[in-house]
A and B are shown apart, each in its own frame.
Chain A
Amino acid sequence: MTVFVDLYTDADTFLHRLDPRVKIVAVVLLSLLALIIGNLVHLLVLLAFVLLLLALGRATLSKTVFALKFVFRIMVMIVVLWPIFDPSGTPVLAELGPVKITEPAIWKGVAMAVRVCCLATVWYILMFTTSQRDLVRGLVKLGLRFDFGLALAIALRFIPTFGVTVESITDAQRARGLELDKGAPLRRSKNYVAVLVPTIVSALRTADMLSLALQSRAYGARPDRTYLRDLKMRWTDALALAVVVTIFAIPAIAKYLLDASL
């Protein structure tokens, strides 16, 4: 049972080396940009840029497809459903009772799908070029409270442990004759209770132990905690940040200050 796969792919590319703070800020800005832009051509330009980044981070095809499979399905759904539910604009291409298919609605649907693709890819790039450790470190350095960062790190760190627990409990219950893949859906989900309850008990036990371990290592002893590893902005990081801010600022200014339609 695959509960979770860490998307991070170890490699030594420009994007991997980039300061996680810059990457987080860039991803947020590019996401906002994808939301600001409505024009299909502009969205395609943005998508091209995002795909360029994907290539720059040397994403492997199989992992990318795996991570974005779900997104592709949503995109198809948007393209198909948007024109059915949006009757605005002319020319009307087809009319079937209350359903009116118009040409602008088709293009809007495509644009929306491209937007979703941009958003998903941008976040995927962050996840596959940044280790969880750097991600949490970046968030804390950007102002996330240390205890929230620690909670996030612990959650990420324990996902695989949790997966192993679920697996061994499932095996143990199967060995006792529990049938998880047979029977009607309701019955099946009832059977899963036999896995769920021991899993929760085990998770609570682990949480208790963790709390003892944290306290024993002086957690929360001082407000002025130090950090062994600090993040340092290099000139390449600053440059990358400047580029992204510019890419964001030009369309944003055009739209909100100059009232251009994008």
Chain B
Amino acid sequence: MRALEFNDVSFTYKGSGSKALEGVSFAVNKGEFITLLGRNGSGKSTICLMSNGLIPHALPGALEGAVRIFGQEVRERSVAEFSKSVGIVFQEPESQLFCMSVEEEVAFGPENLAVPREEIGDRVEWALELVGMKGFNDRSPFSLSGGEKQRVAIAAALSMRPEMLVLDEPAYALDPVGRFELYSVLKELKQKHGMTVVLAERDPEEAVAFSDRLLLLEDGKIAGVGATRNVLRDPQKLSSLGIAPPQLSELAALLNSRLPGESFSFLSVEEAERTLSEDFFAQGRARRA
């Protein structure tokens, strides 16, 4: 069973004249980290909102094709039911936290699911620890920084013990420090917990280091999909879709074009450093010697 499956999906928001998604087909395997990339209005949020049933249940419109979430057709279950298996984090930090303390915020989901009290306490501590917000229990969400708010939002989703986490441009409103903290959490979710993650991004800079696959969107259609490394080999394609290619893939492309025979590709600074010092500079030294 796939975590998420879109089969020739088209969607038009109620009252809108044009299709927000058109003929979209893709699947996400369990344990996979997939990043959706696309410029403004390309359909990232629409896919995210469909991944836990908010579309079409809360945001109506004309839905064609089949969306299956852990095998369940999206139209046949309520958002509350999907919320047990899918956690979602939105772009705006301010409007997704509504409790008067961090602890209540993280406990809210499991409380609604009638999880026993002791277990809620354990889950809250576990989730806050995971996102690096341990000890913030009694703080008001309003008083937190943007990065802290988004990490609380992640903890609030994780405390429901979902199998899949969907994040819609979670770093959008964050400063560099906030971004760094957020991506560290996502990286840990992928590497330590093997969480299934769907991440929507306009800027792939940080996310490529731990994304298994990239899915490129343009005007509601899929413009490309593949393993992160393969997609990044063509930085020009990303640019043509309005996505700024990661600096490292531009560097790799530049090196490859100047050095015939090389085919570098870097997903992280560490990888670039390792490859270049071991492989490239070592060869250069050998040649000079």
Contacts and interface: CB of A to CB of B under 8 A. Distances in A.
A, B bound:
yes
Interface stretch (A51-59, A74-82, A149-157): A149-157
A154 B140 CA distance: 12
B41 to A, nearest CB: 17
A153 B156 contact: no
Contacts of B80: 215, 218-221
Interface size range of chain B in the complex:
35 or more
Nearest to A133: B100
Interface stretch (A111-119, A184-192, A222-230): A222-230
Interface in A46-87: none
Nearest to B59: A212
A88 B204 CA distance: 81
A230 B156 CA distance: 20
A214 B49 CA distance: 13
B98 A216 contact: no
A217 interface: yes
A210 B111 contact: no
B1 to A, nearest CB: 22
Given A154-B98, A157-B99, A212 B90 contact: yes
Nearest to B54: A212
B95 A210 contact: yes
Nearest to A207: B95
Contacts of B121: 228
Given A209-B90, A216-B52, A228 B98 contact: no
A113 to B, nearest CB: 35
B79 interface: yes
Contacts of A226: 110-111, 114-117, 120
A213 B88 CA distance: 8
A205 B90 CA distance: 13
Contacts of A205: 95
A32 to B, nearest CB: 29
Contact of A216 (B83, B100, B104, B110): B83
Nearest to B105: A217
A136 B113 CA distance: 21
A261 interface: no
A211 interface: yes
A228 B107 contact: yes
Interface in A149-181: 153-154, 156-158, 160-161
Contacts of A218: 80, 83-84, 109, 112-113, 160
Given A212-B49, A213-B97, 12 more contacts: A136-B100, A157-B142, A210-B98, A213-B90, A215-B79, A216-B54, A217-B112, A219-B112, A222-B112, A228-B117, A228-B121, A229-B103
14 contacts: A133-B104, A153-B98, A154-B98, A157-B142, A161-B142, A212-B59, A216-B79, A216-B87, A216-B88, A218-B109, A218-B113, A218-B160, A226-B115, A230-B117
Closest 8 CB pairs of A and B: A221-B80, A209-B95, A213-B96, A218-B112, A228-B107, A217-B109, A133-B100, A218-B83
